[in-house]
């Protein structure tokens, strides 16, 4: 039966449900959405059916989609069936509705309503029970981790053996009961959650797809333990890594998130933990963010000195060079044994007689704490406490002291540094070397763009390497408690006392001060001081440790760190911006290979993709070394504002297919190129003919290659009448504006990259003025496959192979016609598709393997005993990976007479280039050549 005959025969829901899987999806789309399925949608719903999802649920999903609600066509009986399904899903009592209920039975409807209310109450009790069981199990897990010795002590406290036995039974029964409750509904819980994406799982983990198992069951039994992700929105490894209690309990992370984690505010993935760019944009700007304020007196800079001679010149030089506000130096030399220290200070005073300078020299060593207190007695204004092992950048005082001078109740301010625990950059809580080997001034220039008013945060303590201090508060509560002796912990104590008096300690993210982390004490002395003084600190402030741990856990400035890190690397290393669609196929494959190549070379890569199939958002992924950071943008304007914050040495427009508002994107790329200047190379590769026409395959309304007419009115008419797959995306019909907009981009491009002479010839029909920019560089995938073809002896059946994902442009209807030809003429032949196809074909002369793993291609081809391959594409492909793969394996190959495949195969000894109308005769002739007798001659 033909597709048209099937169309006419479907008048009710039952008719549609009787169709086999592929036919069912094809006609469900036509009836409920008014169009044929796109390849992604067809594959998605087919995989759902194959994983056990019912056809009625598929229909409900299509019917309730935005597109389905707009389309007015309805199917008799469908809405009633959807209502039944919803009732069947009710927890606990849904099973009572497995049998059909007549929609006009009023009594049954009343029962439905009452039972639903009761069932909702039951479900609430069930959730409370599950939550309680989870908490009890967690506590028992903690007990089980107690050491063997502690366990013996615990058991010894229960002297009655019977009591011990009863306790063990209770614990075992608790485990069993929880397992029974969770196992009973785990599959349904995941399926209803919407967080398990069958299509994603099978396409990402092709080994699972090839096992032909239920995807959801595989994740429950093995997948999560193997670190596999159930969807693009949930990262199994990330969830376990960031939630140690879940990892230790051995719980399925997705189930935990659904039952508890979501309500507890836990993040399912690093992507979800990252704000959208609209929330990120207020954090920084292109301009320096320096807030000004007035001074009545100079800012005092208190520098306690004890040895550390090697650091002094860099510190004092940076202060003189980079302090643009009035300041006074108060230096106290705490009887440094190294005589060079005193000599340096004396020499500094001689060389800089105009600097406002107070020198205090201790006759005996007082230690850090007493020395600071002594120096603070000289201050007249808000002041800075600065270590000797630091270097400051330009305009540092304005940024460090701004909150203290302009805001109420600010006790202290601390900037970013490379080694400052909670203020460390780029790695939190670590002592880092200065990032990317930059000098202080250059690195700090990136921090100047951070909007401090939108990003500064409260912290439990300042960090004393460089700390702005409020003099008014010092007058009120004093400075350091001298119980801390020679130092360490004293600034933490002071900051905690400040908090107790209603003041705040702030982390200032728009300033970076270099901290060499050396100076006063040797490592052994430092270690002892920290241990002793920390005990004093926590005894004085019992809540201090809890505050610090909460600050560490929240890590509120991690996003700022990542932004700064990426901005720096985009300038210090070679960097690529790659813009690409998210539809799969050769263009994505090419971009992924380039990305891997560039990452291997140490470049930074930013990939922008439009998620057409799901979220309709822009996914922005940064990669370099082992760093991966992902952002999301909802609007075009936000996307390019965000991108403009980074520097790119190369911009690669891999594909704009499926993007919305193409002219806007083209204008933004042109503006970006102008801003970045001639140092940035703009490359436009031609994977399809999207720059020529929104109908990127150039198939006209009859499904024939249009050969790029010179009369553009023909193009306008074609775009209006054409029903090709390109209409799934935004498809403007004004070819004049289309060419004008793309022409502007091509004019500013540095290189237009074609992968075949055929593509170059077609492109230049639309843009002849770009001849000098076009470079032809065929893909090189040589060496991927050995020659494996061995002609079969005395075959009784011709076996024709087709490789890849086949849609309309790639020859889906050619395959259908060829299979029909085999059936109608009784030719002993079978067409074997190693891949997928966008239309259903039901015939004994057709076999489809489905998706395949590239590494297993040779095995599949040999197992299927292919005699000859066919590339059925009816559009002039710009390049064909499958053509090269077949040629490398040494198989006979038939292609049509246009595009890159014809260009390659015309030089191939076992190749035939033919017209579409010659295909059947060519197949017939090939069958005769290998000894197969056909029942029909052409």
- Integer Cα distance of 312 and 344 in angstroms: 8
End-to-end CA distance of the chain: 25
Radius of gyration of the chain from Cα atoms?
36
Q: Does position 144 have pLDDT exceeding 50, yes or no?
A: no
Helices 55-64 and 21-32 sit at what angle, rounded to 10 degrees? 20
CA dihedral (665, 667, 672, 674) in degrees, to 10, reads: 160
* C-alpha 584: how far from chain center: 16
Are 725 and 38 a contacting pair, CB within 8 Å?
Answer: yes
Nearest of 901, 835, 829 to residue 872 by alpha carbon: 901
User: Of the given ranges (79-93, 360-374, 526-540, 716-730), which has the lowest mean pLDDT?
Assistant: 79-93
Top-ranked range on mean pLDDT: pick from 15-29, 350-364, 581-595? 350-364
Sign of CA dihedral 256, 258, 259, 263: positive
159 pLDDT above the threshold of 50: no
pLDDT at 765 over 70: yes
> What is the 3 state secondary structure string of 239-288?
HHHHCHHHHHHCCCHHHHHHHHHCCCCCCCCHHHHCCCHHHHHHHECCCC
| Total H helices, total E strands in the chain | 40, 24
* pLDDT score, position 126: 55
Q: How many CB atoms sit inside 10 A of residue 188's CB?
A: 13
| pLDDT band, very low/low/confident/very high, at 479 (cuts 50, 70, 90) | very high
pLDDT above 70 coverage of the chain, percent:
84
Q: How many residues does the chain have?
A: 938
Residue 301, SS3 per DSSP: strand
Cα 837 to Cα 806: distance, rounded to the nearest angstrom: 5
pLDDT(366) > 90: yes
Q: Could you tell me which of 132, 207, 68, 326 has the C-alpha nearest to residue 852?
A: 207
Average per-residue pLDDT in the chain?
86
> According to the model, what pLDDT value does residue 659 have?
96
For residue 631, pLDDT over 60 is answered with yes
**Contact between residue 669 and residue 652 where contact means Cβ atoms under 8 Å apart:** no
Whether residue 426 has a cis bond before it, omega within 30° of 0: yes
Q: Yes or no: say if 116 and 94 are a contact pair by the CB < 8 Å rule.
A: no
Q: Is 73 in contact with 31 (CB distance < 8 Å)?
A: yes
| CB burial readout 53-84, b (16+ within 10 A) else e | bebbbbbbbbbeeeebeebeeebeebeebbeb
- Give the bridge partners for 299, in sequence order: 327
Per-residue pLDDT of 893-910, as tens digits, reads 999 999 999 999 999 999
**Rounded to 5°, angle at Cα 864 from 859 and 867:** 110
Query: Which DSSP letter does residue 938 get?
Result: -
Q: At what angle do helices 558-572 and 440-447 cross, to 10 degrees?
A: 130
Of the listed ranges 236-245, 578-587, 864-873, the one predicted with least confidence: 236-245
Q: What is the pLDDT of residue 926?
A: 95
- Report residue 205's pLDDT band, with 50, 70 and 90 as the boundaries: confident
DSSP assignment letter at 932: P
pLDDT digits (tens, 9 = 90+) for 812-832: 999 999 999 999 987 899 999
Asked whether the beta carbons of 390 and 511 are under 8 A apart, the reply is no
DSSP of 787-838: ----PPSS-SSEEEEEES-B-TTTTHHHHHHHHHHHHHHT-SEEEEEES-BS
Residue 315 contacts residue 391 (beta carbons within 8 Å): yes
Mean pLDDT of 9-29: 79
pLDDT value of residue 247 = 84
Residue 129, pLDDT score: 60
The tokens of 837 are what? 């196809």
Percent helix, strand, coil in the chain, to 5, is: 50, 15, 35
Q: What's residue 270's pLDDT?
A: 62
Q: What are the residues whose beta carbons fall under 8 Å from the beta carbon of 670, sequence distance 6 or more?
A: 744, 745, 748
Q: Which residue has the higher pLDDT, 871 or 59?
A: 871
Contacts of 725 (CB under 8 A, 6+ apart): 36, 38, 39, 807, 808, 809, 838
Q: What's the pLDDT at 122?
A: 56
pLDDT on residue 697:
96
Share of residues in the chain with pLDDT > 90 (%): 60
Strand arrangement, sheet containing 457-459: 357-361, 327-333, 299-305, 383-386, 466-469, 410-416, 504-512, 457-459
Strand order in the sheet with 604-610: 627-633, 618-624, 604-610, 575-581, 650-653, 681-685, 751-754, 774-776
SS (H, E, C) 467-521: EEECHHHHHHHCCCCHHHCCCCCHHHHHHHHHHHCCCEEEEEEEEECEECCCCCC
Can you tell me the distance from the alpha carbon of 743 to that of 71, in angstroms, rounded to the nearest whole number? Answer: 37
618 DSSP β-pair partners: 610, 633
Q: What's the DSSP call for residue 220?
A: I
**Interatomic CA distance for residues 265 and 553, integer angstroms:** 13
pLDDT, greater one: 167 or 31: 31
How confident is the model at residue 437, as a pLDDT? 96
Task: State the pLDDT at residue 72.
Answer: 58
What pLDDT does residue 519 have? 45
Which neighbouring-strand residues pair with 384? 301, 468
Give the residue-averaged pLDDT of 181-198. 72
Using pLDDT thresholds of 50, 70 and 90, give the confidence band for residue 127.
low
Nearest to 285 by CA among 457, 454, 508: 454
Is-contact 431 474, C-beta < 8 A?
A: no
> 518 pairs with which residues across the strands?
none
Residue 506: its pLDDT value, please? 98
872, 815 Cβ separation under 8 angstroms:
yes
- Per-residue model confidence (pLDDT) at position 452: 94
Residue 275's pLDDT band (cuts 50, 70, 90): low
Say how far apart CA 511 and CA 437 lie, in whole Å: 18
**Residue 638: φ, ψ to 5°:** -65, -40
pLDDT at 259: 83
Phi/psi at 790 (5° precision): -130, 120
Q: Is 44 or 165 the better-scoring residue by pLDDT?
A: 44
Give CA separation, 771 vs 688, 706, 776, in Å.
18, 21, 11
Q: What is the pLDDT, as a whole number, of residue 870? A: 98
Q: Which pLDDT score is estimated for 906?
A: 94
Report for 196-200, 220-224, 761-765: range of highest mean pLDDT: 761-765
Q: How does residue 177 score in pLDDT terms, banded at 50, 70 and 90?
A: very low
Rounded to whole angstroms, how far apart are CA atoms 502 and 496? Answer: 10
- Taking a C-beta distance cutoff of 8 angstroms, is the pair 31, 75 a contact? yes
**pLDDT of 141 over the 60 cut:** no
* More confidently predicted of 43 and 803: 803
CB 696 within 8 A of CB 688: yes
Residues 327 and 355: their CA atoms lie apart, in Å, by: 9
pTM of the model: 0.73
Burial (CB count <10 Å: 0-12, 13-18, 19+), residue 262: middle
pLDDT tens-digit readout, 920-934: 999 999 999 998 865
Cα angle: 615, vertex 811, 33; to 5 degrees = 40
pLDDT band at residue 188 under the 50/70/90 scheme: confident
Q: What is the pLDDT of residues 592-627, one digit of tens each?
A: 999 999 999 999 999 999 988 777 899 999 999 988
pLDDT at residue 207 tops 80: no
Does residue 152 surpass a pLDDT of 60? Answer: no
For residues 638-642, give the mean pLDDT.
96
**Residue 37 has what DSSP assignment?**
P
| CA dihedral of 99, 100, 105, 110, whole degrees rounded to 10 | 50
Q: Report the distance separating Cα 718 and Cα 695, nearest Å.
A: 9
Angstrom distance (rounded) from CA 481 to CA 490: 6
Distance from C-alpha of 575 to C-alpha of 680, rounded to nearest angstrom: 10
Closest CA to 383 of 365, 358, 362, 363: 358
The pLDDT of residue 181: 35
Q: Give the pLDDT of residue 164.
A: 45
Per-residue pLDDT of 714-748, as tens digits, reads 999 999 999 888 888 887 889 999 999 999 999 99
Tokens of 871: 């590339």
DSSP annotation of 197:
-
pLDDT in tens, 73-110: 667 777 777 666 655 554 444 545 544 444 444 455 55
Which has more pLDDT, 503 or 141?
Answer: 503
């Amino acid at each position: 039966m033909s597709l048209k005959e099937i169309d006419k025969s479907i008048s009710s829901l039952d008719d549609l449900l009787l169709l086999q899987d592929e036919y069912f999806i094809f006609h469900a789309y036509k009836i409920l959405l008014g169009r044929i399925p796109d390849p992604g949608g067809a594959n998605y719903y087919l995989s759902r059916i194959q994983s056990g999802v019912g056809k009625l649920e598929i229909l409900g999903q299509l019917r309730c989609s935005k597109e389905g609600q707009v389309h007015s066509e309805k199917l008799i009986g469908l809405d009633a069936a959807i209502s039944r399904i919803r009732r069947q899903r009710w927890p606990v009592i849904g099973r009572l509705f497995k049998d059909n209920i007549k929609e006009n039975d009023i009594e049954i409807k009343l029962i439905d309503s009452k039972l639903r209310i009761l069932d909702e109450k039951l479900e609430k009790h069930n959730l409370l029970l599950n939550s309680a069981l989870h908490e009890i199990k967690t506590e028992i897990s903690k007990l089980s981790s107690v050491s063997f010795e502690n366990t013996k002590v615990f058991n010894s406290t229960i002297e009655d053996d019977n009591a011990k036995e009863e306790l063990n039974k209770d614990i075992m029964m608790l485990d069993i009961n929880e397992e029974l409750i969770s196992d009973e509904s785990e599959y349904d819980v995941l399926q209803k959650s919407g967080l398990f994406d069958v299509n994603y799982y099978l396409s990402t983990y092709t080994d699972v797809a090839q096992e032909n198992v239920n995807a959801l069951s595989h994740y429950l039994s093995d997948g999560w333990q193997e670190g596999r992700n159930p969807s693009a929105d949930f990262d199994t490894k990330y969830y376990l890594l960031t939630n140690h209690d879940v990892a230790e309990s051995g719980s399925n992370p997705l189930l935990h998130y659904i039952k508890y984690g979501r309500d507890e505010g836990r993040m399912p993935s690093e992507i979800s933990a990252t704000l959208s760019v609209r929330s990120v944009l207020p954090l920084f700007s292109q301009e320096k963010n320096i807030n000004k304020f007035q001074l009545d007196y100079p800012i005092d800079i208190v520098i306690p000195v004890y040895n550390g001679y090697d650091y002094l010149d860099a510190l004092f030089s940076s202060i003189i060079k980079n302090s643009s506000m009035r300041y006074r130096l108060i230096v106290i030399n705490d009887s440094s044994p190294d005589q060079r220290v005193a000599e340096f200070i004396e020499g500094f005073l001689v060389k800089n007689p105009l600097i406002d300078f107070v020198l205090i020299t201790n006759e005996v060593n007082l230690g850090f704490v007493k020395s600071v207190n002594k120096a603070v007695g000289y201050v007249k204004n808000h002041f800075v406490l600065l270590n000797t092992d630091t270097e400051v950048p330009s305009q540092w005082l304005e940024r460090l002291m701004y909150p203290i001078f302009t805001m109420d109740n600010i006790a202290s301010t601390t900037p970013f540094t490379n080694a400052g625990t909670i203020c460390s950059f780029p790695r939190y809580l670590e002592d880092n070397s200065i990032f990317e080997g930059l000098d202080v001034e250059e690195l700090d220039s990136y921090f100047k763009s951070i909007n401090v008013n939108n990003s500064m945060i409260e912290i439990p303590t300042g960090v004393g390497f460089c700390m702005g201090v409020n003099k008014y508060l010092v007058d009120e509560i004093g400075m350091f408690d001298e119980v801390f002796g020679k130092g360490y912990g004293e600034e933490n104590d002071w900051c905690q006392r400040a908090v107790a008096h209603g003041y705040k300690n702030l982390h200032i993210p728009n300033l970076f001060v270099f901290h060499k982390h050396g100076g006063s004490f040797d490592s052994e002395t430092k270690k002892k001081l920290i241990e002793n003084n920390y005990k004093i600190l926590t005894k004085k402030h019992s809540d201090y440790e809890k505050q610090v741990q909460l600050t560490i856990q929240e890590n509120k400035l991690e996003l700022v760190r990542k932004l700064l890190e990426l901005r720096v690397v985009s300038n210090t290393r070679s960097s690529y911006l790659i813009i690409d669609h998210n539809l799969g196929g050769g263009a994505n494959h090419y971009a992924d290979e380039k990305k891997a190549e560039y990452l291997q070379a140490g470049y930074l890569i930013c990939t922008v993709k439009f998620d057409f199939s799901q979220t309709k958002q822009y996914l922005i992924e940064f990669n370099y070394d082992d760093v991966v950071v992902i952002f999301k943008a909802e609007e075009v304007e936000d996307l390019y504002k965000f991108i403009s914050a980074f520097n790119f040495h190369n911009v690669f427009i891999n594909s704009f297919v499926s993007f919305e508002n193409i002219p806007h994107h083209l204008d933004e790329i042109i503006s970006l190129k102008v801003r970045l200047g001639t140092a940035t190379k703009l490359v436009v590769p031609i994977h399809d003919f999207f720059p020529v026409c929104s109908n990127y395959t150039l198939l006209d309304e009859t499904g024939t290659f249009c050969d790029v007419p010179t009369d553009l009115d023909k193009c306008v008419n074609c775009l209006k009448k054409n029903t090709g797959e390109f209409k799934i995306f935004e498809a403007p019909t004004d070819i004049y504006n289309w060419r004008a907009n793309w022409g502007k981009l091509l004019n500013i491009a540095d290189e237009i990259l074609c992968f075949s002479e055929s593509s170059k010839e077609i492109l230049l029909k639309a843009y002849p003025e770009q001849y000098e920019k076009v470079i032809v560089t065929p893909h090189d995938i040589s060496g991927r496959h050995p020659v494996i073809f061995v002609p079969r002896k005395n075959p009784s059946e011709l076996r024709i192979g087709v490789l890849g994902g086949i849609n309309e442009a790639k020859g889906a209807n050619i395959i259908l016609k060829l299979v029909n030809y085999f059936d109608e003429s009784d030719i002993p032949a079978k067409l074997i598709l190693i891949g997928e196809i966008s239309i259903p074909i039901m015939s004994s002369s057709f076999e489809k393997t489905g998706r395949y793993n590239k590494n297993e291609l040779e095995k599949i081809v040999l197992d299927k005993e292919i005699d000859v391959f066919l590339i059925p594409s009816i559009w002039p492909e710009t390049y064909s990976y499958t053509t090269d793969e077949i040629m490398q394996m040494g198989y006979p190959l038939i292609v049509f007479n246009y595009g890159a495949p014809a260009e390659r195969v015309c030089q191939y000894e076992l190749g035939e280039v033919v017209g579409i109308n010659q295909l059947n005769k060519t197949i017939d002739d090939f069958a005769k050549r290998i000894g197969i007798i056909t029942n029909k001659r052409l």
